[in-house]
Amino acid sequence: MPGGAPSTPTRARIAAALAVALTAAPAWADHPGGLRSEGWSPLSTALVFAGLTLLAGAIVVIVVAILTRREDASSE
């Protein structure tokens, strides 16, 4: 069909070529160099995540303490 829409086999070929092209594309996350930052040392990672865990635990304790506190009988 000159000047018209591509036929179904042509569409299938275009879709297949597009799928192959996207599959063969390089993974940007795996490239070394300027796009990649150095990782943390194991000690600094452990300290940071231990601190975050302690903070999350403290927040949970505070929220539970606020939600479960009782009214004093002497306040009446």
> For every one of its 76 residues, what pLDDT tens digit does the chain have, with 9 covering 90 and above?
555 565 667 888 888 887 777 776 666 665 566 655 678 899 999 999 999 999 999 999 999 999 998 877 665 5
Instruction: With beta carbons less than 8 A apart as the criterion, state whether 1 and 7 touch.
Output: yes
Residues in the chain: 76
DSSP letter string over 13-74?
HHHHHHHHHHHTSPPGGG--STT-PPPPPHHHHHHHHHHHHHHHHHHHHHHHHHHT----GG
pTM over 0.75: no
Q: Rounded to the nearest 10 degrees, how much is the dihedral formed by the CA atoms of 61, 67, 71, 72? A: 0
